[in-house]
Structure 1
Amino acid sequence: MLHFDRRVGPDLGADYPSREVPEWYRDAKFGVFVHWGLYSVPGWATSRLPGEHVPVELEFSHHQYAEWYANTVRIPGSPARDFHEREYGVGTTYEDLADSWTVQAYDPHAWMRLFAACGARYVVPTAKHHDGFCLWDTATTSFSSVHRGPRRDLIAELAGAARESGLRFGLYYSGALDWHVSDFPPIQSMTELFTLRRNDEAFARYSFDQLAELIDAHEPDVLWNDIDWPDSAKAVGPYSLQALFERYYGRVPGGVVNDRWGVPHLGARTREYVLEERTSPWVWEATRGLGRSFGYNRAEDDRHLIGRAELVHLLVDTVAKNGNLLLNIGPRADGSLPESQVERLRYLGAWLDAHGGAIYGTRPWIRHAEPTGEPVRYTTGPEGTLHVIALDPAAGRLRLAEDLLEPARATASWGDGPAEIDGSGNIVIPEGLRGLPAAVLTLRTDARP
């Protein structure tokens, strides 16, 4: 994972028609990302507290993403290389770690039951990250979890467990970066992110075959590609990206893709550790880790995790702006889930269990918030229901905008009877709701777009 915004590549004659994002995805609102792979064995990256930044020239040598370890460890003088040599010895390569990967605490059914209980509607594990290590039984390479380490088809197990728990199943795939079958120096800048990658026909066929295997075997509801796609496959051809999309939609008519393919075929737009500033005219997806890394980072502790109330506010703000939240958890190498991350998930799930009617199946209202700075967000339900989500219930009062006062006087409630309105026109927030990270006021209005 790395944040960038490159959506449209050159016009090479291929047909990339636009597709509507399916309604199931728009209704789902909340999914769980799972970054688990060979990089989870070292499980280490430079840790950064929220708001802490490094100079741009050190972004890659001091990378905060543990899933980038295979690149970072090759940068001379990087903290990751120092860690690796202390932990594993000078002569041990990253790929040597594959044989030491064991998954004795891994229970895919327990994972999926947890995610479903915490309110997720879909799950997207990493099938192959930039290190090239495949988590399924692929015919393209022996560098996989079936031939090394776990000796198991981890993706097949995750797919079955997800669907047994009623979750939609998606797959992350690194389309343009594969360090196992490349011979480039380490990436050390955003420019090199796009120049130090293969674009030849052989690699394009390799990527096509791998993703075709996953499509045919699992019919994923979401295809979540990262970084880009080999340029040589963007024109018309039997193993082109156009052919891959045709194959995918033929197998999964209700499937959705993201926007990281480098061609003008956009599904849900992605935003990584950033948010839209206002309601988006297109469906988008906010994604981030519970901490500052996607892959498990043993150097992080509770200080590096998103706050509990902040997490609820993140979901609410994203949904109010026409987005979904794809929230990542990073399992340890053995398959155990970090307790502090699980606790955050459960906290969000408890709030959703009580207030999910203001999230699931909703759509944006005519505005997502108030320009006055009143801490509220809006979502709309069917048949004119407006959800006014108060982000500071402890204040005890909610000041509504003028255009909502009359509908509020007639129909507003906190879910258990009419809401009280004081002499100044403020909605009184009941005592029992003031300890929540967000409280939901509902009223009736005909203003849904």
Structure 2
Amino acid sequence: MMNFEKRIGPDFGGDGPEYPVSGAVPEWYRDAKLGFFIHWGLYSVPAWAIQHGPGVHIPTEDAYAYHQYAEWYGNTVRIAGSPTWIRHQEVYGTGTSYEDLADLWRAEAFDADALVSELVGAGAKYIIPTTKHHDGFALWDTVTSGFNAARRGPRRDLIGELHDATRRRGARFGVYYSGALDWHTGDFPAIESDTDLFRFRRNDEQYSRYAAAQLDELVERFAPDVLWNDIDWPDGGKGHDEFAVAALLRRYFAAVPEGVVNDRWGVPYHGFLTREYTHIEDVQDAVWESTRGLGYSFGYNQAEGPEQSLSGTDLIRLFVDVVSKNGNLLINTGPRADGTIPDLQLAAMRQLGDFLRVNGGAIYATRPWIRAGEGQGTPRAYTSSASGTHVHVLDPVTGVVELPAELAAASGARWAGTEAAEIVAGADGTATVAVPEALRGDAVATLTVPA
């Protein structure tokens, strides 16, 4: 997956626009650790992409025709001969375009409070729904376009409902916005390569003003704690103008001083770094965010089963690994078209929530230890807080965990939710601790070693 913080847009020869102070990431964001993406839109009606996963090999040249993301349906369906193109004709007929799906979307079972309650129950401290994905369909009642959920399909202000429900539950609210890609506003061919991703998009002033108006509207209406832009910003909006991204960000931080942005603006400014479906090896100096779906897609893909989806155990271990390396996890839920969360996703989310109700003190508001884990011995990850060093045993069934020399002489160690631990000194300056029988079946067992 490509990284975006190195895309810096037009070269103004040292006379570039004035951005806010770079790299500002508020403490609330660093403390939060867990956010939930919500990818929900017109693509949730067909809810389909070709299966990816174990044993599936897609040649690089076919990556877009066989795209793993169901939310890319609006592009993939335009690639003649692609599996999506074939299936769309079988299901909807040759006369139904992607945008016609707006009139088939009902969101009839959507209850914002119920959905948000599941996310907060899973441990989310911030929630970021897609307000407009690459297909250009806005999920709020915008004055900028009639192509929105308040005037077509559900005929509801879905973002307004999610915002209100999130604030009622005391979680932070963010917005995802696709800045440079909007297939509804252009007539480019389908994207079939990474090069096309930046070639087939609008960079003109008119579209730049349109995108700016939408983003200003989102900031004014929802004062989002996180402004999460995707796939760059139109080059026509990277200058000194009031509709350009530098001015947009200045207005955003004036309205939300404790807000934070990501790195996908295509300009020499970012807040946290994003890493999508990417494993990071060790502690990072910069604050970063790991993001992925519970399966191989963000939008709901009905073709995926358990073998393509993270189990609760997988999700918990991923989360602990990310936090140990100075990251937040922005895990995604992709609701069905009716607005309900699929059972497979719910099961993993609820297991994560159960884990955090016991172990959250060793996750939230922590910082990395001197290293993320060890290269040998029992798999484990470390976090640090005022109460000490937290040793997260990633495979408790082994029954024992080694403590490094830095922790071997400590006393008063305790297992989260259970009992005091007995540290047994070894001959080489290290030590071992037995994992209680009651924790050996857990996804992760957490030992806190006092400072």
TM category, shorter: over 0.9
The answer to whether the aligner puts 1:414 opposite 2:415 as a matched pair is: yes
Correspondences of 1:102-251 after superposition (within 5 Å) = 102-251=106-255
Using the alignment, how far apart are the partners of 1:306 and 1:178 within structure 2?
Answer: 30
Check whether the contact 1:50–1:292 (CA below 8 A) recurs between aligned residues: no
Tell me how many residue pairs correspond in the alignment: 440
Residue 85 in 1 paired to residue 83 in 2?
Answer: no
Q: Does 1:435 align with 2:441?
A: yes
More deviation, 187-196/44-53: 44-53
Q: Which whole-Å CA distance do the structure 2 matches of 1:51 and 1:238 have between them? A: 50
- Mapped to 1, the partners of 2:357 and 2:57 lie a distance apart of 35
- Describe the superposition over 1:421-446 as per-residue Cα deviations: whole angstroms up to 9, x where unpaired: 3464321111111111111111123x
Alignment of 1:350-365 (within 5 A): 350-365=354-369
Distance 2:260 2:375 in 1: 33
Conservation of the 8 A alpha-carbon contact between 1:66 and 1:297: yes
Aligned to 1:405: 408
User: Counterpart amino acid of 1:398?
Assistant: V
Q: In the alignment, what sits opposite 1:253?
A: 257
CA drift at 1:403: 2.2
- Whether the aligned pair in 2 keeps the contact of 1:34 and 1:126 (CA below 8 Å) is yes
SS of 2:85's partner is helix
Give TM-score scaled by structure 2 length: 0.95
Cα distance change, pair 230–366 in 1 and its aligned pair in 2 (3 A): same
1:356 is matched by which residue type in structure 2? G
Indicate yes or no: 2:321 matched with 1:317. Answer: yes
Q: CA deviation at 1:247?
A: 1.0
Deviations 1:121-144 (A, max 9, x none): 010000000000000111111111
Q: In the alignment, residue 427 of structure 1 is paired with which amino acid?
A: V
Give 1:327 deviation, angstroms. Answer: 0.5
Report if aligned partners of 1:256, 1:267 keep a CA contact under 8 Å in 2. yes
Q: What's the offset of the Cα at 1:417? A: 4.3
Amino acid at match of 1:160: D
1:107–1:50 Cα change, 3 Å: farther
What stretches of structure 1 move > 4 A for 4+ residues in a row? none
Report the CA distance between 1:418 and its aligned residue: 3.1
Please give the secondary structure, in 2, of the residue aligned with 1:81.
helix
Report SS of the residue matched to 1:411: coil
Report the counterpart of residue 6 of structure 1 in structure 2.
Answer: 4
Query: How far 1:51 moved relative to its partner?
Result: 6.3
Match in the other structure for 1:286: 290
- Find the counterpart in structure 2 of residue 389 from structure 1: 392
Deviations 1:233-264 (A, max 9, x none): 11111111011001110111000100000011
SS of the aligned residue for 1:244 comes to helix
Any idea what the Cα deviations from partners look like across 1:19-66, whole Å, max 9, x if unmatched?
420011000000110000011111111111246331101100001100
Counterpart contact for 1:279–1:320, Cα < 8 Å: yes
Distance 2:141 2:129 in 1: 15
Q: Deviations over 1:303-327 (max 9, x none)?
A: 1101222111100000000000001
Q: Show structure 1 runs of 5+ residues with no match.
A: none
Amino acid at match of 1:252: V
How far does residue 370 in structure 1 lie from its aligned partner after superposition?
1.3
Would you say 1:36 and 2:40 are equivalent positions? Answer: yes
Hey, what's the Cα distance between the residues in 2 that align with 1:423 and 1:143? 67
Percent of aligned positions that are identical: 53
| Unaligned residue ranges in structure 2 (runs of 5+) | none
